[in-house]
Amino acid sequence: MEVTPFQLANNTVLSLSDSNFILPKDRRPILSEVINPDSIPIINLNENNIDDGHASSLLVSNISRACEEYGFFQIVNHGVPQELCQRVLAVVTEFFQLPHEERAQFFTTDHTKQVKVYNYYQKVEGHGKVTMWSETFTHPWHPLDDFTQFLPTSIPQYREVFGEYAREIGALMDRLLSLISRGLGLEKDYLKRKLGERPALYSQANYYPPCPNPELTMGIPDHNDLGALTILLQSEGVTGLQAIKDGKWLSVHPVPNAFVVNLADQIQVLSNGRYKSVGHRAITNDRLARVSVAMFYSPNNDTVIGPIEDFIDEEHPAMYRNYTYRDYMEEFRRQEGRRRRVKEAFEIQR
């Protein structure tokens, strides 16, 4: 099918006749090996269960099992209005449909910029850089008033919709952190306290234009999220997200009115490896554009992270040394463009 080519904010056109977007053979996704339908757990949060201090132990143990076995799950009945989620996807889609000159105002490769459009790439040895088939728009989601002035003005509803969404996601993050704390046998506010005051809260909207041959490209390469916890909203009816389990890629199908939740590196480290931060990637789709919005919860730069004492004993010696999140991000930037092995850099060798 003919599709109108997508022009990236950096002024290049996504096209398979441009070798910059084509992965060398040994880096391409082998789509025939992806497992469908997926078996990622779907967990009913049951919105009547407002006080998770008393949430059913069944809910806590379901989440705990999902965190141990998959590091990935979907949640339904999470209490965030469906209509709001649809408005979020709509404003984000509108953003990526702005003329590329308008998006170009946000384009930067300077990682210190808080509001930015950029493209993922992979450095491939002996091959150079391959640009991913996607575009990404990042900005903080809290505190809102500090950054709204930088958000796109040409989409008047963007600020309001995102503001409302940020409040809902903030409450949901707290609930999930408390459920995960309880799953680990900790006080319900333990993880939130441990992750520190003034967490770094960023959103990342991803846009994957249709690609005539998804076997040749990648939307986002295999990576682990760096922070503590991610809540992802994805467009309905378009697949693309995959998570790895026991060496096999599983497709994370969009479930109506669900969020995908994945644990990120800091929870793996804090739990001394008990809960998993799992590798995932997004492949492209040959017919439809796909949109996703990831909401990240990360510690701030000064927070010290390391395995919690409760999880260290003779049988389970500390797997990681203590570090500040600043150190962690510096290590990440040293590895930029390569396969992320950030937490591995903080492992204690025995």
- Name the site residues for ligand OGA (rule: CB under 6 A): 204, 206, 220, 225, 234, 240-241, 280, 282, 292, 294
Partner in contact with 217, chosen from ligand OGA, Ni ion, none, beta carbon below 5 to 8 Å by kind: none
Q: Which is nearer to ligand OGA, 66 or 319 (CB)?
A: 66
Rounded Cα gap, residues 113 and 29, in angstroms: 31
Give me the least distance between CB of 134 and ligand OGA, in Å please: 8
Instruction: State the alpha helices, DSSP H only, in the chain.
Output: 57-69, 82-96, 100-104, 157-183, 190-194, 265-270, 325-334
- Dihedral of CA 108/109/110/116: which sign? positive
Indicate the residue among 62 and 234 with the shorter CB distance to ligand OGA.
234
**Rounded CA gap, 77 and 123, in Å?**
40
Least distance (Å) between residue 230 CB and ligand OGA: 6
Instruction: List the beta bridge partners of residue 334.
Output: none
Burial class (CB in 10 A: 0-12, 13-18, 19+), 244: middle
Could you say whether residue 38 binds Ni ion (CB under 5 A)?
Answer: no
Q: Which CB atom, from 66 or from 220, has the smaller least distance to ligand OGA?
A: 220
> Which is it for strands 229-234 and 135-142: parallel, antiparallel or unpaired?
unpaired
Please choose which of Ni ion, ligand OGA, none residue 234 contacts, taking the beta carbon within 5 to 8 angstroms, the exact cut-off set by kind.
Answer: ligand OGA
Q: With 0-12 CB in 10 A as exposed, 13-18 as middle and 19+ as buried, what is 99?
A: exposed
Least Å from the CB of residue 92 to ligand OGA: 11
What is the DSSP secondary-structure string of 205-227? Answer: EEEE---S-TTS--SEEEE--SS
Q: Helices H, strands E: what count in the chain? A: 7, 16
Q: How far is the CB of 234 from ligand OGA (least distance, A)?
A: 6
Q: Which CB, 208 or 311, lies closer to Ni ion?
A: 208
Q: From the list ligand OGA, Ni ion, none, which binds 292 (C-beta under 5 to 8 Å, kind-based)?
A: ligand OGA
The interface partner of residue 8, options being Ni ion, ligand OGA, none and the CB cut-off 5 to 8 Å by kind, is none
Q: Smallest distance, Å, CB 58 to ligand OGA?
A: 29
In terms of CB distance, is 21 or 72 closer to ligand OGA? 72
Return d(Cα 32, Cα 34) in angstroms, integer: 6
Residue 285 binding result from ligand OGA, Ni ion, none, given CB thresholds of 5 to 8 Å by partner type? none
> Of these partners, ligand OGA, Ni ion, none, which one is at the site of residue 282 (CB under 5 to 8 Å by kind)?
ligand OGA
User: What is the Cα 181 distance to its own chain's centre?
Assistant: 20
CA distance 97 to 249: 31
Residue 204 interacting entry, from Ni ion, ligand OGA, none, C-beta within 5 to 8 Å by type? ligand OGA
Name the region of 234 (left: φ>0; alpha: ψ -120 to 50; beta: rest): beta
Considering the complex, what minimum distance in angstroms separates the CB of residue 225 from Ni ion? 4
The least distance separating ligand OGA from the CB of residue 86, rounded to whole angstroms, comes to: 17
Where in 217-276 is the site for Ni ion (CB under 5 A)?
A: 225
Among ligand OGA, Ni ion, none, what binds residue 241 when CB lies within 5 to 8 Å by partner kind? Answer: ligand OGA
* Total residues at interface with Ni ion (CB under 5 A): 1
User: Looking at beta carbons only, is 80 or 294 nearer to ligand OGA?
Assistant: 294
Nearer to ligand OGA, 178 or 292 (CB): 292
Residue 141's CB: how many other CB atoms inside 10 A? 22
Task: Quickly tell me which residue has 């995960």 as its tokens.
Answer: 180
CB of 321 to Ni ion, least distance (A): 25
> Which residues make up the interface to Ni ion (CB under 5 A)?
225
